[in-house]
Amino acid sequence: MTTGRQQWDGLATGMALATLDAASGYGAIADAALGWRDGRLTYVGPRAGLPGDPATLAREVLAFDGGWITPGLVDCHTHVVFAGDRAGEFEQRLQGADYAAIARAGGGILSTVRAVRAASEDALLAQSLPRAHALLRDGVTTLEIKSGYGLDYDNERKLLRVARRIGTELGIEVRATFLGAHALPPEYAGDGDGYIAAVLDWLPRLHAEGLVDAVDAFCEGIGFSPAQTRRVFEAARALGLPVKLHADQLSDLGGAALVAEFGGLSADHIEHTSDAGVRALAAAGTVAVLLPGAFHVLRETTLPPLQQLRAHGVPMAVATDCNPGTSPLLSLRQAMQLACTHFRLTPEEALRGATLHGARALGCDDRGVLRAGLRADFVHWRIGQPAELGYWLGGELAAAVFAGGRRVA
């Protein structure tokens, strides 16, 4: 409940806590207090249990008038750094075109690639920072950002550099994921193996610059084959980098089982994952990342294997998949609501998915719950009960957002 007796940097009182520090339930504490020092939580518990007068315990005391504090939200799958938009494709899909057909006609990911290649690093930051800031204002304190819209060395590097700059600008932790194997660029048309060879050349150079925290790929009929994905994963493993995968979104190519074989952090999308794939995730301890924004925008009808995931104890994260084509979603809380509506997650499952399990999908074991000793990442919400976070469609519910004990929104 508490660590140390030195004066804390901050102490919050006058609210309830949803600690999530239990196997089930919200871990609720009414009339609670939360203390922190040097970016770590020092006290999580009832106000009556504080080891002294609040005024003497902390240099700053925040006396809230109700509401709830939860762990900071963790958006573990985004493509938030990009240039331009694809609103025109949204119109095309509404008129009957499907995502795969648009991609084959030169739209989709490749249209964003053209825009990214034409933008300077500063211009790319200027376009992307407001999107990341919107996620922050709605409670996100840890953000994953993928590359994958450059598809050559210089532009993949540019995307990863912008991801790092966003973390510095916003004062939150950004995990940068190399997604060079996202799509086949025009200069490699018809030569997927040749392009993968280029990706394998870029990866150690980008890693040596400190730009890569994890490696991802798009294993799909319109992306890369399991054999090509395996080559990427083997290269990542040789560098000691964890892997993730866009798996089984449009068809079942065994992607979930493949990423589980490599002890991957997460298998993402997984609408078409088989029972064997779910069992592989369970055995490997790999997180299933649900992306209801893309499911919603693409008007998909095949649900992820939710009952099997529950039955086999696979942790389920929830993320925005913020991207210009299939999930232009700027609120992780809205992703939670969509997960409840489309996938029938309970509000508690959705909140755990956007905190504890989202952190696990990034390999972060120092956040996602409120517990003394962990990072002081937390959000004070204007709500009367935690279920409201999966209930409201829109609105401004975050009253204050803290990352590492500093207020950032």
Q: Which residues are annotated as a binding site?
A: 77, 79, 86, 149, 182, 246, 249, 321, 323, 325-326
Burial class (CB in 10 A: 0-12, 13-18, 19+), 18: buried
3-state secondary structure of 103: helix
Q: Are 253 and 292 spatial neighbours (Cβ–Cβ below 8 Å)? A: no
* Amino acid making up residue 72: G
Binding residue numbers for N-formimidoyl-L-glutamate: 149, 323, 325
Binding residue numbers for 4-imidazolone-5-propanoate: 86, 149, 182, 249, 326
Number of H helices, E strands in the chain: 15, 16
Binding residue numbers for Zn(2+): 77, 79, 246, 321
3-state secondary structure of 173: strand
Residues sharing a CB contact under 8 Å with residue 200, sequence separation 6 or more, in sequence order: 231, 232, 235
3-state secondary structure of 94: helix
Q: How far apart are CA 326 and CA 346, in angstroms?
A: 24
Tokens linked to 267:
């298998």
The alpha helices in 40-152, defined as continuous H runs, are 54-57, 87-94, 99-104, 109-118, 121-137
Q: How far apart are CA 327 and CA 341, in angstroms?
A: 16
- DSSP strand pairing (68-71 vs 73-75): unpaired
Q: How far apart are CA 398 and CA 131, in angstroms?
A: 16
Q: Are 46 and 31 spatial neighbours (Cβ–Cβ below 8 Å)? A: yes
Q: Are 278 and 290 spatial neighbours (Cβ–Cβ below 8 Å)? A: no
3-state secondary structure of 149: coil
370 to 33, 44, 51, 333: CA distances (angstroms): 11, 7, 18, 18
Binding residue numbers for Fe(3+): 77, 79, 246, 321
The candidate with the shortest Cα–Cα distance to 152, out of 111, 221, 198, is: 198
Tokens linked to 119:
């933008």
